Chain A
Amino acid sequence: DGGITQSPKYLFRKEGQNVTLSCEQNLNHDAMYWYRQDPGQGLRLIYYSQIVNDFQKGDIAEGYSVSREKKESFPLTVTSAQKNPTAFYLCASSIDPSHTGELFFGEGSRLTVL
């Protein structure tokens, strides 16, 4: 089945540790995105990539880093510089890189900082 796979589903981290969230897609989409969702809030864009080896900062990129070495993969690293990392993280992809197309989402990764 085609889709977006995020792992792990749940992750616990101690303060000061970096963690990497995985996102893989087999939809052959050029564009991929990372969003953060906090309780009662909408989704906020962290980073996006419109093509391999290129990515752009979103609205809340501070304390996060990404890479896009392969079309299928767009991992997100939550660094120790992120002040409030506990949140639900959603990865998405789109065949249209212009932000006007339908997004396909993974099931998310819930990160809790202890």
Chain B
Amino acid sequence: AQKVTQAQTEISVVEKEDVTLDCVYETRDTTYYLFWYKQPPSGELVFLIRRNSFDEQNEISGRYSWNFQKSTSSFNFTITASQVVDSAVYFCALSTPYGGSQGNLIFGKGTKLSVKP
């Protein structure tokens, strides 16, 4: 069965601190995709990144970076020098297009990040 675990329910940091959001996934499929989405208070989810299971390279985009480690089934997300605008709920998600009950996107329960000035 496919599963995504975001163990951190809520995190609170002060502006300019670095913060890492953890994501652990479970799947027996060898081909899969991992995602991170941001949900600001306005409600819509915003796509941040997609990684396929064959690409373990870490990625950096501005203050955001992602660490994908197949050995630990983790896809962690780090925000460097956090800002108040980073306050949101962040979701990690897993897609296994060739397996699973329907091949749909499985979301974790989300981590609520609060960045205080």
Question: Known contacts being A100-B33, A102-B50, is A40 close to B105, with CB within 8 Å?
Answer: no
For A96, give the chain B residue with the smallest CB separation.
B97
Chain A residues within 8 Å of chain B by Cβ, number = 25
In A57-114, which residues have CB < 8 Å from any B CB? 58-59, 88, 90, 92, 98-108
Asked if A52 is an interface residue, CB under 8 A from chain B, the answer is no
Report B100 CB to chain A, min CB distance, Å: 9
Question: Known contacts being A40-B9, A45-B104, is A103 close to B47, with CB within 8 Å?
Answer: yes
B93 contacts which chain A residues (CB < 8 A)? 42
B110 contacts which chain A residues (CB < 8 A)? 40-42
Report B71 CB to chain A, min CB distance, Å: 23
For A43, give the chain B residue with the smallest CB separation.
B107
A18 contacts which chain B residues (CB < 8 A)? none
Partner of A58, one of B50, B95, B102: B102
B97 contacts which chain A residues (CB < 8 A)? 98-100
B42 contacts which chain A residues (CB < 8 A)? 107
Asked if B84 is an interface residue, CB under 8 A from chain A, the answer is no
Give the interface of A toward B (CB within 8 A): 4, 40-45, 48, 56, 58-59, 88, 90, 92, 98-108
B107 contacts which chain A residues (CB < 8 A)? 42-44
A23 to B91, alpha carbons, bound, how many Å?
22
In B37-62, which residues have CB < 8 Å from any A CB? 37, 42-47, 50
Question: Known contacts being A41-B109, A42-B107, A99-B105, is A90 close to B95, with CB within 8 Å?
Answer: no
Report B65 CB to chain A, min CB distance, Å: 19
Report A93 CB to chain B, min CB distance, Å: 12
A100 to B105, alpha carbons, bound, how many Å?
8
Partner of A42, one of B46, B91, B95: B91
